[in-house]
Amino acid sequence: MGFYVYSHKKADTGVIFYIGKGKGNRLNFKHGRSAYWNRIVAKHGFKAEIIINFETEQEAFKYEILLIEGFKASELSLCNLTRGGEGMSGYKHSKEAKEKISVARNNMSEETRIKIGDASRKRSKESRAKMSAAKIGKVVSEETKAKMKNAAKNKILSEEHKINIGAARKGKPWSEARRATYNVNKTKEKL
């Protein structure tokens, strides 16, 4: 896996406003950014560019720190909130951290849940189209598919949730793949 250091430039002026380290498609991600970064992008848009590639993550971290220091020393205004070199690729939460997150979600007020739901529904068509386009061509591994299938099997839905799913699907045509899967499952039930 290769690592790289990248820049984000204001789309309208070409001025660099952020330096980061990544791998894969990280340079194009909008989630996981600071409020400061989001305000700049809302106003100017952004263009992402890989500056240099590295074999190891540590080399990329060192260069990221060096670049951030250099840009800040030259009084170029970056929205980086740290000096760089933080975070680790593939980070996984501990069991304790996962439990704390779960408790926090379960204790979330109904008002907060409604606000989160409203915010996700208010995404513009353009925003939803971009999110959809970003997923096109992504290949999901068989291992991931198996995990998703297992998680879906073990999920307990309330009756209200089942009714809402049914109502949302009502009147929508089935794809040929869905129809074929349904027919195969019905045939198995008869046997």
Question: Token pair of 61, please?
Answer: 């971290």
Residues 141-179: tens digit of each pLDDT: 888 888 888 888 877 888 888 888 888 888 888 888 877
Region 47-54: what's the mean pLDDT? Answer: 92
Residues 67-126: tens digit of each pLDDT: 888 888 777 788 988 777 666 555 566 788 777 777 777 777 787 777 777 766 666 777
For 114-179, give the DSSP string. Answer: HHHHHHHHT--HHHHHHHHHHHTTPPPPHHHHHHHHHHHHHPPPPHHHHHHHHHHHTTPPPPHHHH
Question: Token pair of 158, please?
Answer: 């309330």
Supply the pLDDT for residue 88: 53
Question: Token pair of 5, please?
Answer: 């250091």
As a whole number of angstroms, the distance between CA 147 and CA 151 comes to 6
First to last CA, the chain: 48
Residues 27-38: tens digit of each pLDDT: 999 888 888 999
> What average pLDDT does the chain have?
82
Ordered domains of the chain (ranges, CATH):
3-73 (3.40.1440)
- Return the SS3 of 37: helix
